[in-house]
Structure 1
Amino acid sequence: MKLNSLSDTTSNPNHINKSELLWPQRSQDTITGKNVFAIKLYAWWAKAVKEKELGNAAYKNKEFETALNHYNKAIELDPTNITFYSNKAAVLFEQQKYDECIELCKKAVDVGREQRAEYTLIAKALTRIGNAYLKLDQLKDAITWFDKSLSEHRDPELVKKKKQLEKDLAEKERLAYINPEIADKEKTLGNELFKRGNYPSAMKHYNEAIKRDPDNAILYSNRAACYTKLMEFQRALEDCEMCIKKDPTFIKGYIRKGAALIAMKEFGKAQTAFEMALALDSNNAEAKEGLMNAIRNNDESPEKARERALHDPEVQEILRDPGMRLLLEQMSNDPGAVREHLQNPDILKKLMKLREAGIIQMR
């Protein structure tokens, strides 16, 4: 754009390309031509900065309307400065005018990119957009704008905040998905398919039912039965454990746990599971039958039990542990030596595993 006179530029600073300015020199040379132009522009620029500083002071004192007035004047004097827009947006954020804040931050980003502002300034405006969406409880939008900010400038604190927000969003969506009525319908469909022997399809409905009602113990029990039919005994056991955790009084959880353990040839553990079931209902026929089955299968020679136990990866790992081997040697020489080690939960857990496997005896 061609300007007709110096007065045109100073009266309409929006048309000025500041990168072409020549600021006053420190020499005592006669100020003529472009230097006169620069002096007037410097005065205009300094006034804009002064308005920003007044706005900052008002902002710190929480005088938000006063701050807005000063930032508006700064923008009027210099509409090419991203900081002025960003500071005004900060006021709108504090006033909980989040939609206005978002729009102004977008304007700040556009201005910043046009003027090739520092990436950190653009990132700051993008982050504030994300924070405004966060205040509006629009988590997906907040994450989107945090991503945009991180693409401009990688702030470690924002990375952490975004990761936590993603976890919060996942939990929010999970909770929003919960619907016990739909879960009951899915369970019914699963039960019908289970009765017909269509276990893979039944599994899909049980999976959906658990997503819809994750605290329902019966659903884990039903899925455990399905896993058992599909010979996925470890998963069946995990579901039984979850069932019992959700409702320790639900007898089916213990019975199905016992069945899974028998399938895994963990007869001692199965016996315990059935005994727990009978503690809840001493007349339960299924629990009685399961207990007898576990006892019958558990009637094996100590040598055979030891041989089977030695193939257990967990037992093997314990026996390879130099510290545990030293402890076992001490126990063989002095059975009382174990007492001081029982205060250590990790050692106690390992000793209980070896005792359960028949490797050692502890009274």
Structure 2
Amino acid sequence: MESMGKYDEAQKAFQKALQLSPGNEEVMDKLHTINTKVRERNEKTKSQHCKTPEEAKQLGNSFFKDGKYDQAAEFYTRAIELQAGPIKEKAVYYTNRAACHQQTHMYSLMVDDCNAAIKIDPANVKAYLRRGIAYEGMERWKLALEDYTKAQSNSPGVAGASQGILRCQRVLRN
């Protein structure tokens, strides 16, 4: 496990081995080595250590894929901080962070991030879709419908827009 970079699993295994064989010098040495490697790895994966927005984005993507949405949002925030000027790539970082907020049901933060992305890139379909999702979560159906419709008009056939439109229309009719 250690050689494959699975330090967390190795750490747990050595901790269990130490419980079964307290005072085992070899196990204690290995556990100390693993603890050092885990600490070093964790230090390297702090957002402040990222030097470029792309590096921060990649680490954010990795955390997002692992379901660690708060950590992912932290790295997307770092990418936003590092990216100079309002360019389209910065809008991507905002929509990525909005996706993290979606997973944690923080809809008002989603709206803020999508607004920032749309300000930079008014044609950003993901920003309209995600803001529509946020408005749906906040039960602001008319605003959600507007965003889904805007996403659909910017990119006909985009996944999620037509279903969102139908859901909002159904609620607004009742």
| TM band (smaller chain) | 0.5 to 0.7
- Any residues of structure 2 matched to 1:238-253 within 5 Å, and which? 238-253=112-127
- Any residues of structure 2 matched to 1:202-241 within 5 Å, and which? 202-213=72-83, 215=86, 216-241=90-115
Classify the secondary structure of the residue corresponding to 1:285: coil
2:66 to 174, 191, 196: 196
1:279 to 153, 156, 159: 153
Q: How many residues align?
A: 120
Distance 1:192 1:296, change over 3 A: farther
User: Can you list the C-alpha shifts for 1:279-337, whole angstroms capped at 9, x where unaligned?
Assistant: 1111112211221122223332xxxxxxxxxxxxxxxxxxxxxxxxxxxxxxxxxxxxx
Considering Cα pairs closer than 8 Å and 6+ residues apart, tell me whether 1 or 2 has the greater RCO: 2
Show structure 1 runs of 4+ deviating over 6 A: none
TM, length-normalised to structure 1: 0.32
Q: Which structure 2 segments of 5+ residues have no match?
A: 1-50
- Any residues of structure 2 matched to 1:290-301 within 5 Å, and which? 290-300=164-174
Residue 265 (structure 1) aligns with: 139
- Any residues of structure 2 matched to 1:272-351 within 5 Å, and which? 272-300=146-174
Deviation at 1:250, TM superposition (A): 1.2
Distance in 2 between residues matched to 1:227 and 1:270, nearest whole Å = 17
Classify the secondary structure of the residue corresponding to 2:160: helix
Radius of gyration: which is bigger? 1
Classify the secondary structure of the residue corresponding to 1:276: helix
User: Can you list the C-alpha shifts for 1:336-360, whole angstroms capped at 9, x where unaligned?
Assistant: xxxxxxxxxxxxxxxxxxxxxxxxx
Taking only the aligned residue pairs, the percentage that are identical comes to 31
Q: What residue identity is the alignment partner of 2:80?
A: I
Deviation at 1:229, TM superposition (A): 1.2
TM, length-normalised to structure 2: 0.65
Classify the secondary structure of the residue corresponding to 1:197: coil
What is the aligned-residue RMSD (CA, Å)? 1.4
Distance in 1 between residues matched to 2:167 and 2:64, nearest whole Å = 24
Q: Which structure 1 segments of 5+ residues have no match?
A: 1-180, 301-363
- Any residues of structure 2 matched to 1:56-95 within 5 Å, and which? none
Distance in 1 between residues matched to 2:61 and 2:170, nearest whole Å = 31
Deviation at 1:196, TM superposition (A): 1.4
Deviation at 1:241, TM superposition (A): 0.7
Distance in 1 between residues matched to 2:65 and 2:171, nearest whole Å = 28
Residue 256 (structure 1) aligns with: 130
Distance in 2 between residues matched to 1:297 and 1:193, nearest whole Å = 35
- Any residues of structure 2 matched to 1:139-154 within 5 Å, and which? none
Distance in 1 between residues matched to 2:171 and 2:63, nearest whole Å = 32
